[in-house]
Every structure is written in C-alpha cells, then in structure tokens.
C-alpha cells in the first residue's frame, strides 16, 4: 500500500469531487492544492476563481495569498472582488472549499470567535469571503481534521452558513435556493448531509479508520449512510503530482 499522510488523502479525495468543466472558488493551501490536482487528473477544464479577482489562471505554483500575482498568472481575466462575488451570486460558481475553527452537524462554520463576541477568549479572522462563498456557491465543501473540539454540538459563533438549523431552515432563510453544504472531508472519512434532516452523515471511511474512530472524534452524533464505502487511498500518480508538481516544498502536505 502506498504511503501517504492525512493531508494527502484529504486533498486527493477532495480533488475527485470536482468534475471537469466545473467552476470552483478556492482559497490558499489545501483547497487550492485539491483544485490543482483535479486539473492535473480528472478535471483539466476545471475553472479556478479567487475572491480577489483572479479568473481561470494557469497557476505556475501555489499562491501564498488569494490576491497575489499567481492567482491571475496567465488568467482569462484579472477582475475585481465584485466580479467574482457577483458571478457567485448569479450562480456561475459550482463549488467552494472552506474551513473553520468549529463545524456543527449542519455544516455551519465558526471562524470568528471562541467565547462571547464582546470579549472573546480567542479572536479569529472572521468570515473573510467564507460566508459569501457558502451563501452563493452551489456546493460548499469543507476539508478539516476530524477532531471533537472542531466537530462541536454548538458553535460559539455561526460565521458561515451551512444548512443552518437543518430541515427547511436554509431554504427559508433567504439565502439563494438549492445552495448549501455538500461534502465534509476529514483525515478519517467523507461525510455528506442526509437530504431531509440535513444532518451530517458518514458515507465513506478512509483505510485504517473505523466508524468508531470517526464518531469518537466528533462531539455530535453522526448519521450513517445505508452503505458506507471504503475511501480509495491516494493513487501513486496523485501522490507524485502533489509531491513533485503541486507542492514540491510541502508547504501544504507537510513532511
């Protein structure tokens, strides 16, 4: 069996979710690596967009910032933040990848504070473009380590909308119709959301982990799909691309 680390399987799994010809709004790090891997494997025509204005660049290397020169290197267009956000708002962007300090069973995210807002225990960056992407893009995905302190019963602050309180709550919220969380990808498993309750549901578990491992590292009860698949590990080619072409200095995949 090929040797790989947690970040490598998360990125490989995420890349496989992106079909050819789709549009994806990405940030720096793992999401960008996943999009680049998809372009080099199953989705050569994947269109990458960066919130600061870069549209369909030919990324020469991984950007350090979603606004640095690489994000519009040989791009179709170097536009504005409004060009990107309005394209998302109009329904032109299919996918986005987000993260956060906390996530709940409905895929809502917290990247604002731990503790109360007035005088927080810990202050985080805030929404940035996360709330916008999660509100506008058709399918929001999350890549995050499986950890009980991240997968919480209740968020300290609901920064970014998932399925809100589940059921019809998002459909009734005023957010664009039919948009919402799609897949949650961790170092242990892949989760989706049960269509009616909109609760997080395990659909695939990575080699070396059990259903118990996944639940033990989550503070809320995870639903289980009727048939739970075993995740295909990163292929030798996926690993080669990640290690040699996409992230040669291992900024993202680590050592």
Partner 1 sequence: MNIIDQGQGELFLDPDPDKARAFFRTKNRKLVNKVMDLKEAVAKFVQDGDYLAIGGFGANRTPIAACHEIVRQKKKNLGFAGHTSTHDMEILSAGEVYNRIDVAYIIGLEARGLSTCSRRYMESGKVKVTEWTNYSLAARLRAAAMGVPFVPTRNVMGTDTIKYSAAKTVECPFTGKKVVLMPALYPDVSVIHVHEADIFGNARFKGIAVADVDLANASKKLIITTEKLITSDEIRRDPSSTRIPYFLVDAVCEVPFGAYPGNMPYEYFSDEAHLREWLSVEKDAEKFKAFLDKNIYGCNNHEEYIARNGGAEKMRELRAKELLLSKEVSS
Residues 36-55 that bind partner 1 (CB under 8 A): 45, 47, 51-55
For residue 128, state whether it binds partner 1 (rule: CB under 8 A). yes
Angle at alpha carbon of residue 136, lines to 98 and 95, rounded to 5°: 50
Q: Length of the chain in residues, anyone?
A: 255
Q: How far is the CB of 237 from partner 1 (least distance, A)?
A: 23
User: What is the x/- site pattern for partner 1, positions 195-214, by CB under 8 A?
Assistant: --------------------
Angle separating helix axes 30-40 and 6-16, nearest 10 degrees: 50
For residue 173, state whether it binds partner 1 (rule: CB under 8 A). yes
Q: Which CB, 156 or 238, lies closer to partner 1? A: 156
Q: How far is the CB of 143 from partner 1 (least distance, A)?
A: 14
For residue 90, state whether it binds partner 1 (rule: CB under 8 A). yes
Q: Out of 100, 129, 166, 233, point to the residue binding partner 1 (CB under 8 A).
A: 129
For residue 119, state whether it binds partner 1 (rule: CB under 8 A). yes
Q: Is 51 among the residues known to form the active site?
A: yes
Give the dihedral sign, CA 20/86/166/114: positive
Angle at alpha carbon of residue 111, lines to 19 and 11, rounded to 5°: 30
Interatomic CA distance for residues 3 and 17, integer angstroms: 22
For residue 65, state whether it binds partner 1 (rule: CB under 8 A). yes
Using DSSP's 3-state secondary structure scheme, residue 252 falls into coil
Asked whether the beta carbons of 210 and 228 are under 8 A apart, the reply is no
Cβ partners under 8 Å of residue 122, min gap 6 = 101, 113, 114, 115
Closest among 103, 89, 68 to 184, alpha carbons compared:
103
Q: Which CB, 42 or 89, lies closer to partner 1? A: 89
Q: How far is the CB of 5 from partner 1 (least distance, A)?
A: 18
For residue 254, state whether it binds partner 1 (rule: CB under 8 A). no
Q: Which CB, 90 or 149, lies closer to partner 1? A: 90
Q: Which CB, 188 or 241, lies closer to partner 1? A: 241
Question: Which sequence positions are flagged as catalytic?
Answer: 51
């Amino acid at each position: 069996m090929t040797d790989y680390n947690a970040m490598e399987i998360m990125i490989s799994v995420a890349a496989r979710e992106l079909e050819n010809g789709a549009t994806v709004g990405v940030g720096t790090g793992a999401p960008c690596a996943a999009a680049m891997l998809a372009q080099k494997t199953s989705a050569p025509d994947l269109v990458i967009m960066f919130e600061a204005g870069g549209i369909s660049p030919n990324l020469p290397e991984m950007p350090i910032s979603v606004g640095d020169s690489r994000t519009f290197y040989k791009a179709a267009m170097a536009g504005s933040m409004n060009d990107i956000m309005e394209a998302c708002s109009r329904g032109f962007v299919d996918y986005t990848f987000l993260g956060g300090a906390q996530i709940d069973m409905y895929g809502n995210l917290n990247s604002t504070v731990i503790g109360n807002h007035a005088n927080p225990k810990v202050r985080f960056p805030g929404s940035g473009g996360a709330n916008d992407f999660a509100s506008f893009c058709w399918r929001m995905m999350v890549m995050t380590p499986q950890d009980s302190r991240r997968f919480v019963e209740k968020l300290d602050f609901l920064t970014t909308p998932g399925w809100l309180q589940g059921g019809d709550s998002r459909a009734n919220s005023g957010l664009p119709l039919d948009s919402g969380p799609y897949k949650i990808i961790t170092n242990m498993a892949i989760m989706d959301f049960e269509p009616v309750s909109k609760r997080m549901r395990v659909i695939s578990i990575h080699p070396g982990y059990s259903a118990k491992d996944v639940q033990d590292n989550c503070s809320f009860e995870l639903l289980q799909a009727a048939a739970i698949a075993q995740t295909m590990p990163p292929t030798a080619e996926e690993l080669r691309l990640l290690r040699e072409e996409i992230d040669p200095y291992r900024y993202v995949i680590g050592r």
